[in-house]
Amino acid sequence: MSTTGRLRIVIASAHPGESQILADWLASDGFEPVPASSLRAARCHLEAQSCDLLISDVKLAFLDGLHEMGRGRMRNPHTPIVVIGDDDSTSRRQAERRQAMFLQRPVDRTELLCYVAMAAGEARPVRRSPRKSVGHLEALVDGAPTSIVDVSNEGLRLESARDRRASPPFFSVEVPIVGVTVMVHRVWTNGLTATSGKQVTLYGGALIHNPLRIERAWRKFVDALPEVRP
């Protein structure tokens, strides 16, 4: 976090005006954006001062090496970077392999702020309700068994066996014990070793395209859940 107390976000994009537009959106929402319209400018900003989050064009990130440098210059090394690209499978696969979050062009302001909140959530809650740890609550992702590990009014984090096929970008999560089913947008994925020693995949998602009655049911469910301390 910068000396101003705001999250410092470097935005690297060679697309005309894109980095400045995104910077204006983030500044109006209380962040400290640092726009860079070239690879050289982005590298200079990262060398001069560490950051809380890097948002980068997919080419600058993976072909020009900004991803590796950015991961080394972020205050929390576990924070994923956000990459921006066109809607093509190659860019999405690149982002998934590097455990980055993929944001599709044209960038939607609401979606951008949601991604930033998810990516920087470990550093500071960003206009989001607190996450609540729930242990390992049984759930179904598109019908396949998985576990919910924490929830908030806006989303959730799930854990599944490493050998299980990764969830698609958009999927349904059913919580059988309460009969609630929500549509979720997967925004990050991370492989790790659980305390049991098993290889698992942890991934986070944001609620999306749910009717108001479903959102209300989800929030009621979140409020009613007791928090499980790790």
Give the tokens for residue 229.
Answer: 């301390």
The predicted model scores a pTM of: 0.58
Q: Do residues 121 and 93 lie in contact, with contact meaning Cβ atoms separated by under 8 Å? A: no
Q: 141-161 as b/e, with b when 16 or more CB fall inside 10 Å?
A: beeeebbbbbbbbbbbbbbbe
Which of 29, 39, 28, 205 is closest to 10 using CA atoms? 39
Q: Is 8-119's fold the same as 132-224's? A: no
pLDDT of residue 196: 57
CATH, domain range 8-119: 3.40.50.2300
Q: How far apart are CA 107 and CA 112, in angstroms?
A: 7
Q: How far apart are CA 24 and CA 56, in angstroms?
A: 16
In order, the DSSP letters of 20-46 are HHHHHHHHHTT-EEEEESSHHHHHHHH
Mean pLDDT of 134-161: 90
- In the chain, where the domains are located: 8-119, 132-224
Which of 74, 83, 27, 76 is closest to 55 using CA atoms? 83
Give the tokens for residue 45.
Answer: 């900003």
> Out of 5-14, 135-144, 185-194, 219-228, which region has the weakest mean confidence (pLDDT)?
185-194
Which of 75, 78, 77 is closest to 32 using CA atoms? 75
Q: Which of the four pLDDT bands, split at 50, 70 and 90, describes residue 22?
A: very high
pLDDT of residue 123: 44
Q: Which of the four pLDDT bands, split at 50, 70 and 90, describes residue 227?
A: confident
pLDDT of residue 124: 44
pLDDT of residue 6: 79
pLDDT in tens, 63-101: 888 888 887 888 877 778 899 998 777 888 888 777 788
- Give the CATH class of 132-224: mainly beta
Residue 217, number of CB atoms within 10 A of its CB: 18
Exposed / middle / buried, residue 89 (Cβ in 10 Å: 0-12, 13-18, 19+): exposed
pLDDT of residue 200: 80
